[in-house]
Structure 1
Amino acid sequence: MEQKLLAVKDLEDALQQKDYQAYRTAFLAIVHAVVPPSPDKEDKEYARLRKGLLGLEDAQLDILFSEDEFMRDIRYLYPYVKKLVEMCQDYRSVYARTKEEHKVIDFDDMEHFALEILQAKGGQVADLYRDKFVEIMVDEFQDSNDVQNQLVMLICRKNNVFRVGDIKQSIYGFRYAKPALMKGLIDHRGVYDEVIYLSNNYRSKKMIVDFNNDLFKQLMNIDGFSCSYAKEDDVETGVPAQLEGNVPICFHAVFHNEIKEAEGLIVSKNELKASYIANQILEIKEREQRKWKDFVVLVRGNARKDDMKKIFDELNIPYFIDIKYGFYQSNAVQVILSAMKCILHPHDDISFTATLLSPLFQKSTMDLAEAKLQKEKGQSYYSWYCEHPFPGFEQLQDFVHQGNKLRISELINQLYELKDYYRLHTTIQEKTNLDLLFEKAVQFEDQYAAGLSSFLSQIEQIKDAQTAEAIPIGSEADVVRVMSIHQSKGLQFPVVFLWSTDKQTPIEFKDFCISDSELGLAMKAMDLPKRYVRTTVARIAMEHKKDKEELEEEMRILYVATTRAQTQMHIVDCILDLDTYRHPLSMSGVYNRNGYTSWILQTFLCNPSPLFTIKEVHRFWQSEVQSVEKAAYHPFKVYEKPSGTIELVTASAQETRELPAFTFDEATQGSIYGTMMHKMIERLATPPWNRDDIITTAADLSMELKEWDIQTLLQLGKDSDYLQACTGNVHHEMPFMVKDEAQILHGYMDFVSFQEESITIIDFKTDSLNDDQEFRKRYKGQLAMYKKAMQILYPDHSIQTYIYSLHLHKMIFIK
């Protein structure tokens, strides 16, 4: 040990002189000195320190490559980094061009374009605003980024900006917030600057205020970190009521392994923690006669919201959890969407079986299994049930026959009333989701004169987007709230439960390449062909910088969490042993990323305080399922004024074909191939064209063509009827919508050519049919509808309709 201590001086000298080789040599000398185990096997503190020391040495040895190796990796990675930068620049250019083509901007553009405007022409616009604004007030200044701060600096005078903020609550690093901006103004005040400290807390009981003062004086003042908790940060209570009814902050230590072994439970730590929090909410509510809305559960990430949602559902605890996804995946919405798909395509077995198994028709899996055994191979369930109907099946048939004649909102209303589904089979959350679905249908009807098929197509395109469930409550609703710590900022609650953790994983460090606004890009090096991966000097520097910044932000996030409580603060985590935390906080300990649990317990186990108490939980608990109030019946309001029905008819619905056994891959591949050929025809120049034209166009569209595809397009470019049609004013994928008595005809036409007194319509088909008559039989209704629509729009033109078979290389006239 003495050898190690003597060598530390050499390390410090090497660091002062910035001599890496000397540092490496000194460190290797330190490692060679052995630290023996303690002769006293009960000396746990010595064992802990020895283990920590050896761990630090091993971690340093893992990255202590020679200077030559570091330089070799820099040279090796340079072309890859250069190419990556070029790709990013190309992407940025294409993205900017795409936004310009579509006349849209994103959120970053709002800031950067504003900055460009203010800086243009010598700052003329900035001068106008500077003269106009008497005072500029900036709230939440601690979360400003460089661009936002520069916007203010360009339009302000020397002494007319009033900024309000709290560096300890800067928690938006992922939005590039820079608390250093505010700290710099405080530390380096100008002639016109004044700093005013607000030293009173009017929210929390005195014990909570003092707890936070004590915790963050230690945590935020650890050497090696930029954050601090200065004398000016100390706060006091502001009103006498905060001195009454105080209780200590309680840490609930759930000994999960002990409990699971004793009870024979097979549950995760997160499930056990969620169950315990729910149990404590029930206990406190009953003991103190509190309302549900007095409680909030604060979590670090959205995944834990799912854990709380599950246990609250099991115990019938009313709650509001703002999850940023799940609307289209929620059970009730899925039931209605499946029913609508079934009505539109009754022979689609997936949506049909989903509808039959739902509360709308309440069939069992055994019923469907029997139907499966009895129906013919390739026969749809719907056609089998048409031959063998069950009581109530006629309702589904009525929906199928009337589906296109009903307004979408009217259809949804009728589905809600079927078997009293909306009232009897849905929760408050599900009812609110169904209300939102109905609202979306009404909005769709207002914007588009389109039917059920278009509505479902729109949903199909957006269903995977993060669409939050509808909010079923008002601000005063009596429910427990579960929210992320970020969402809780600026709010307050009587009783707060903090879901604490004993680990903080730096997820970004797993990536092969990471970036930083100041240091640039850093990659790992890989030795091929063995694929051995090692760190690089740039990576070490960037990871350390990010590690430090993220840990400082985690300290601030914890500060936000522990300052939300008004009367009670409960912190909950699963642990193995309290002795693990009976040592002081240190810089190396914080860098171990042991989480909020470690920071809190180390602070108060080493510095016992009446402000803090620990409740050890060694036995499993029982929670009583809450009774649910019976929902009041609210009959649907019926529209009783005069109304009429307009049927929406699409061209594709006129297609005539026998229904073959459904094969997903074939259907999908056919659709993709058809789309590809349509795009090629639309993009190619006026015919005739040659092989090079086709290959160049395919490359522009990032498509791979086979020889057959090239020959097919060459044949089309030579077709005399097509060449003649292309001499007119040509429109590809031309949309149309026409009212024909009680019907609205709508759709898209592949190719329309306008001549002086005539119109030519061509529909391109990729079907593998054998002759002209098969095409005419299948598509004559579709082409007839196109012709009818154009006759209504252009009654003075003669109209010719054709199908061009890409399979037969042939133009087919349709009478």
Structure 2
Amino acid sequence: MNTKWTEGQLRAICEAGGNVLVSAAAGSGKTAVLIERILRIIKEKTDIDRLLIVTFTSAAAAELRERLYLSLQKELESGALTATQAKRLCRQQTLLSKAYITTIHAFCQNVIKSNSVESGIDASFRIADTGEIAMTRADVMDDVIENWYQKELPDFSRLIEIYGSYRSDQGLVDQIFSLYDFAQSSPEPKLWLKAQKDSFDPSQIGDFSETKWCSDIIRDLYITAESYRENFLRMKDACERHGITEYIAMLEQDIRITENPLRILQECETAHKDPPVKWQDLYQAICSMQFEKAPVMTAKRKAAYNEAGLAVIASVQEERKKIVNKIKDVFLSKMGDSPDAPYEDLKLLKDDMACLIDITLDFAEAYAKRKYEMHILDFNDLEHIAFRTLAVRGEDGVVRKSEVAERYSAYFEEVYIDEYQDTNELQDAILSLVSRNAAENTYANLFLVGDVKQSIYGFRQARPDLFIEKYKNYNRSPNADKLVILNRNFRSRRAVIASVNRVFRKIMTENTCGIPYSEEESLHFGASYYPEGKENYETELYIVRRAKNKREDAPNYEAEITAKIVKDLIDRKYQVYDRAEGTLRDITYRDIVILMRAPSSDKAGETYARSMQKTGIPAYYAEDGGFFANAEVNILLSFLKVIDNPLQDIHFVATLRNIYGFPDHEIAEIKADSLRRQAAEETFYEMCLHYSRNDSLRERLQLFTDRIISLRKISLHIPVSELLWTLMHENHFYEHLREGPLGELHMANINILYARAILYDNSTNKGLFRFLYYFDSLRKRKGDLSEAAAVTEGMNVVRIMSIHKSKGLEFPVVILSETGKSFNKRDVSAPLLKHRLIGLGPTCYQEELKVKYPSVMKFCVARRLEADNKAEEMRILYVAMTRAAEKLIITGSIRTEFEKYQEICKNKCSSVTGEPLEYHVLDANSFLDWLTMCGVSEAEQTYFREEPDAEEENLWHVTKEDAALQRSLPIPQPPMTFYKEEYRKETESTPAKISVSDIKRIADRYESGELIQMGARAVKMAELPDFAYEGPSDLTAAERGTAMHTCLQLIDYGQIRSIDIAAAENYTDELMLRALDAGFLNQNSAAAVHKGLLAGYLCSALAQRIAAADEVIKELPFTQLMELGGSFTAVQGIIDCLIREEDKYTIIDFKTDDRVDAEKYRIQLDCYTESVRKAFGTEPERIVYFLKQNKEVRI
């Protein structure tokens, strides 16, 4: 081998005699190092099947196995080996096929199968798929909940009140599932759950400062107080420079106020190993941060200062007010009104948490029993059964190796773990059990490789702290375990590395991310093979300021800018390096990737793909869970649902139209015929059976209905997969899928559906109904079905993907977009918060007052989750920026002026060092905040773009969602043959189409005595109310109403189940930010929204009822025919909200009138009701909800 290894790489390859942790930065060649170490070992002394090599994915394992084989083959073909050496390498090639190069799940499965007696699992057990597991879990949960209902315990009733909703216990069920799933990453979930139960027993707790909840909040408080002090110092310095004497004394007092709690908190930090500072002292330290009001600056006083001085005064007033409010809102209001608050919360929570955990334990036991009876396992079972097979707990309570584990650890000479930063606690325990350690009088043999800066799988319970703990402890003594740092980057040009280092040296510290971005952890340039070239490889930053009055249906301007950037790179033949050819070449589309944090959020990925395609750029975006969004899949699922139950109109019409080719005008004719026969209540299936008007159409409908009846009979006697195969080929549907440029993709998706049907037939579940239930479960839980890949690596297209999907990949040009989008804060708004180390943070419920509020424990857990989430977002940004090999381009949008935004970010930096303050780093709202705090907008090439105002746009746009909703409501239109000359005069006087607002204006004129006759009937509709709120005076009532309706439309009801008022306020703030980010609201319209009304509504019984509904449709457009004067007029409108609870529908209309008067909306509700009745064949309940009074009225 002629590879020139760096000193660090050689250490990683050769280090022996103990555990080794390799901290391998992005692009540092860790895979090459891993392969070289394995090759040296197997060439010298150890057979490859005596090594355990664990990778993160099956693809990584396969790649590693192939590269090892090719490396061995290259050595054999070199001609430099002796006969003995060649014989040994041939043996290693042969052993590769049975070598333990595997994922953790595959290894666990091997442990279980190889030790069936010890594991208690025989060969008859199989791994169930996601859909089967979802159904089994649901069935078991139904039984468990029913059993608890029968006990009639008051504690269970309280849980329903806390986590349930108006008419459903689904919220409680969701919490039990969530708690059960969260516990599975623990080696012993039941013990962990029981420990959480004990933690809420006040008799088990001494001083609150000794609890995990309090110990974690101390660090947070210390960082915050230190940041406040630094801010006050910076303000004081500015006031002294401008001679603002009125504020100097006040700020000096502010500094003294923050120094006292800093001293107490520092004592707490150092006292944890000894008796800690008492909770009483800590509470007083927090409460001591009380600030005086700022002196009033009269006009006379202000006249003494120039423009710069006045700017400082305004800045100090604004910044100081934010700090004072932050202390009140974040700490004083959350820690309770006395030091006894946490103890009172514990007393209130003890029985609630005991009951919740007991139910979860009951579910765990019943679920395990059911799986055993069905002879199935899930992926969590593989790890837990393997752990139980490898571990035994002694009488002293200590977990030790079982005989099985002793055999494995004696067999494996070395244990390799790739991507160690993404390992969870259970996986770490399993791999420790099969490795060796010095305490067993032998050498330790773990070889761990990873980069904690790239740990981005917190949602899978990854534990980066396991890596960090070893990182800090290894290399402590000459005989200790070894730490090797690989920091030379062989992937990226100098400009990319400089940008990455500039950002992370300033924001990645031990307090913000668990590990400092020191010189050792910084990237060092190693890609010396790059020719310089004439191109500009410096990082570029494009900041887009959104238009003030952007329409919600306006195109994404940032996406358009990105498309122009790509087009410019292609048009000017930007030069990139071709490693295979060793020379520069013109850039192609495949060299470019657009990365986003969450491309599925607000359909950003689709938006960017459309913008590219409009510009003539071939682009591809595959959405996560996109399988269920494919038309061909939904058509076949609709067909199956018709075979199961033909009385489902939407699926029936979809089958009629898409499988059997009935055109829209014939479908309209079928509906019109039912109206003529005064049989509007019939289902579409019944309409087809009774149609008799047109002989040709009647005959085809007869053939169609006969075929449906025949297929329904057949379905009772054949497996679902055979039925699906029949439907796939019905009327040549499968063959037609071949047509078009994506024909192969369509067929591949159908084949995935068919393969899943075969899996279902081989499971314990049978029947079409259960199959459809199985798929609905997958859809709701966003199961593991992925659509077929439409793009191969060689296709010349721009790829749009999430940062998570890009991990492990590299691209010549990376465009990191949507960096101005706010971080997701939903994790901290759930009714029950969970943290692996701190424990649980529940909601308190005072039964007498019917009041929910966040407990002190919930506040502590929420603060830690927020910090952990920010640390993960930071690591995600690191992954994104280090994907770029040659050019990094960043785009982001803001709402404020560029100069003001930069000034805000500068004010979050230290006045002494100029570095961002840790508190503000943790308090950032977006990637762009961090980038601007670090001075990237000054250091890099920055371009500002102003989005045109809405007045300059002439847009007409209907979203796919709107179109789909309109199709879901059948619109009965009389066929063209109805329109004869005798109706001409009537249609001249009667409009063909009116809106609800048109009817409202008619009603206004009717009230004033000016009646508009429409044919022979006057139509009167209640006036829509003004949304009364003291917002910006330049907004009309209609504009204020639109703003409030926009917010109601954006509510994600799945996130507000069992929400308390504090969480509701946080959710409202987040919703407003999302609305602003996405351009649904501008600053004026956002200011017009009454946040208090929104937060109050989220906690209302109606909102909780909506959250628990089986289906929620918001802003549902409809078109309803009304007979006016003997002729038809179409009335168009939008139903605010329609919910389905089992087979019942409810219409909900939102109002903000000052006075509760639902009767005046009766005609409007009648119109809505008629549309719903005809669409769904049922009489809906009607509710008018008055937000100002928090009152619902049934009408």
* Band the TM-score falls in, shorter-chain normalisation: 0.5 to 0.7
Kindly provide the CA deviation profile for residues 485-529 of structure 1, in whole angstroms up to 9, marking residues without a partner as x.
111110112222222134224212212221222222222334454
Counterpart Cα distance in 2 of 1:136 and 1:210? 36
Paired letter, 2:290:
V
Question: Cα 1:518–1:391, aligned 2, differ >3 Å: closer, same or farther?
Answer: same
User: Is this contact kept in 2: 1:252–1:615, CA < 8 A?
Assistant: yes
In the comparison of the two structures, how many residue pairs are matched? 611
The structure 1 residue matched to 2:465, chosen from 180, 203, 210, is 180
The CA RMSD measured in Å over matched residues stands at 3.7
Counterpart Cα distance in 1 of 2:346 and 2:643? 62
User: Helix, strand or coil for the counterpart of 2:484?
Assistant: coil
The structure 2 residue matched to 1:4, chosen from 254, 278, 294, is 254
Paired letter, 2:253:
Q
Q: 1:581: which partner in 2?
A: 902
Counterpart Cα distance in 2 of 1:237 and 1:352? 62
In the superposition, the TM-score normalised over structure 1's length comes to 0.67
Q: 2:453: which partner in 1?
A: 168
Q: 1:75: which partner in 2?
A: 347
The structure 2 residue matched to 1:193, chosen from 464, 481, 498, is 481
In our comparison, the structure showing a higher alpha carbon Rg is 1
Q: 1:130: which partner in 2?
A: 409
User: Is this contact kept in 2: 1:207–1:246, CA < 8 A?
Assistant: no
The structure 1 residue matched to 2:332, chosen from 48, 58, 61, is 61
Q: 1:139-538 to 2 correspondence within 5 Å? A: 139-157=418-436, 158-189=443-474, 191-221=479-509, 226-242=514-530, 244=532, 245-258=535-548, 260=549, 265-267=551-553, 271-288=556-573, 290-301=587-598, 303-304=600-601, 306-310=603-607, 312-313=609-610, 315=613, 318-338=618-638, 349-358=649-658, 360-364=661-665, 366-375=668-677, 377=679, 378=682, 380-385=686-691, 388-390=694-696, 394=700, 397=703, 400-401=706-707, 404=711, 409=725, 411-416=727-732, 421-423=736-738, 428=742, 432-438=745-751, 440-441=753-754, 458-459=771-772, 461-465=774-778, 466=782, 467-498=785-816, 499-538=818-857
Equivalent pairs: percent with the same residue? 22
Quote the offset at 1:372 in angstroms. 3.3
Counterpart Cα distance in 1 of 2:755 and 2:285? 74
Counterpart Cα distance in 2 of 1:393 and 1:568? 65
Question: Cα 1:407–1:48, aligned 2, differ >3 Å: closer, same or farther?
Answer: closer
Question: Cα 1:312–1:230, aligned 2, differ >3 Å: closer, same or farther?
Answer: same
Kindly provide the CA deviation profile for residues 651-699 of structure 1, in whole angstroms up to 9, marking residues without a partner as x.
xxxxxxxxxxxxxxxxxxxxxxxxxxxxxxxxxxxxxxxxxxxxxxxxx
Question: Cα 1:83–1:494, aligned 2, differ >3 Å: closer, same or farther?
Answer: same
User: Helix, strand or coil for the counterpart of 2:290?
Assistant: helix
The structure 2 residue matched to 1:590, chosen from 903, 908, 921, is 921
Q: 2:316: which partner in 1?
A: 46
1:97 aligned onto 2:366: no
Question: Cα 1:593–1:94, aligned 2, differ >3 Å: closer, same or farther?
Answer: farther
Quote the offset at 1:598 in angstroms. 0.2
Q: Return 36-45 or 106-115, whichever deviates more.
A: 36-45
Quote the offset at 1:160 in angstroms. 2.5
Quote the offset at 1:95 in angstroms. 1.9
Paired letter, 2:931:
I
User: Is this contact kept in 2: 1:137–1:163, CA < 8 A?
Assistant: yes
User: Helix, strand or coil for the counterpart of 1:254?
Assistant: strand
Q: 1:743: which partner in 2?
A: none
Counterpart Cα distance in 1 of 2:848 and 2:345? 16
User: Helix, strand or coil for the counterpart of 1:473?
Assistant: coil
User: Helix, strand or coil for the counterpart of 2:794?
Assistant: coil
Q: 2:874: which partner in 1?
A: 555
Quote the offset at 1:140 in angstroms. 0.5
Q: 2:1024: which partner in 1?
A: none
User: Is this contact kept in 2: 1:495–1:567, CA < 8 A?
Assistant: yes
Question: Cα 1:617–1:283, aligned 2, differ >3 Å: closer, same or farther?
Answer: farther
Paired letter, 1:432:
L
Paired letter, 1:143:
D
Counterpart Cα distance in 2 of 1:75 and 1:24? 19
Counterpart Cα distance in 1 of 2:512 and 2:723? 66
Paired letter, 1:255:
R
Q: 2:942: which partner in 1?
A: 613
Counterpart Cα distance in 2 of 1:343 and 1:486? 40
Question: Cα 1:20–1:12, aligned 2, differ >3 Å: closer, same or farther?
Answer: farther
Paired letter, 2:603:
D
Counterpart Cα distance in 2 of 1:68 and 1:444? 58
User: Helix, strand or coil for the counterpart of 1:240?
Assistant: coil
Quote the offset at 1:83 in angstroms. 1.7
Quote the offset at 1:336 in angstroms. 4.3
Q: 2:242: which partner in 1?
A: none
Question: Cα 1:144–1:612, aligned 2, differ >3 Å: closer, same or farther?
Answer: farther
Quote the offset at 1:290 in angstroms. 4.2
Question: Cα 1:11–1:477, aligned 2, differ >3 Å: closer, same or farther?
Answer: same
Paired letter, 1:252:
Y
Kindly provide the CA deviation profile for residues 724-756 of structure 1, in whole angstroms up to 9, marking residues without a partner as x.
xxxxxxxxxxxxxxxxxxxxxxxxxxxxxxxxx
Quote the offset at 1:421 in angstroms. 4.4
Q: Return 369-378 or 83-92, whichever deviates more.
A: 369-378
User: Helix, strand or coil for the counterpart of 2:737?
Assistant: helix
Quote the offset at 1:342 in angstroms. 5.8
Question: Cα 1:445–1:485, aligned 2, differ >3 Å: closer, same or farther?
Answer: closer
User: Is this contact kept in 1: 2:590–2:799, CA < 8 A?
Assistant: yes
Kindly provide the CA deviation profile for residues 277-318 of structure 1, in whole angstroms up to 9, marking residues without a partner as x.
344434433443743322322222353383322453473654
Quote the offset at 1:207 in angstroms. 0.6
User: Is this contact kept in 2: 1:141–1:165, CA < 8 A?
Assistant: yes
Counterpart Cα distance in 2 of 1:444 and 1:224? 48
Question: Cα 1:198–1:81, aligned 2, differ >3 Å: closer, same or farther?
Answer: same
Unaligned runs of 5+ in 2: 1-250, 269-276, 303-308, 393-399, 437-442, 574-585, 715-721, 910-915, 955-1195
Unaligned runs of 5+ in 1: 624-815
Question: Cα 1:45–1:247, aligned 2, differ >3 Å: closer, same or farther?
Answer: farther
Kindly provide the CA deviation profile for residues 764-795 of structure 1, in whole angstroms up to 9, marking residues without a partner as x.
xxxxxxxxxxxxxxxxxxxxxxxxxxxxxxxx
User: Helix, strand or coil for the counterpart of 2:815?
Assistant: strand
Counterpart Cα distance in 2 of 1:433 and 1:564? 31
User: Helix, strand or coil for the counterpart of 1:63?
Assistant: coil
Paired letter, 1:228:
P
User: Is this contact kept in 1: 2:401–2:433, CA < 8 A?
Assistant: no
User: Helix, strand or coil for the counterpart of 1:67?
Assistant: coil
Question: Cα 1:413–1:473, aligned 2, differ >3 Å: closer, same or farther?
Answer: farther
User: Helix, strand or coil for the counterpart of 1:94?
Assistant: helix
Counterpart Cα distance in 2 of 1:434 and 1:446? 18
User: Is this contact kept in 2: 1:485–1:560, CA < 8 A?
Assistant: yes
Counterpart Cα distance in 2 of 1:561 and 1:437? 34
Paired letter, 2:319:
L
Question: Cα 1:274–1:304, aligned 2, differ >3 Å: closer, same or farther?
Answer: farther
User: Is this contact kept in 2: 1:138–1:163, CA < 8 A?
Assistant: yes
Counterpart Cα distance in 2 of 1:619 and 1:247? 30
1:31 aligned onto 2:290: yes
Paired letter, 1:458:
F
User: Helix, strand or coil for the counterpart of 2:520?
Assistant: helix
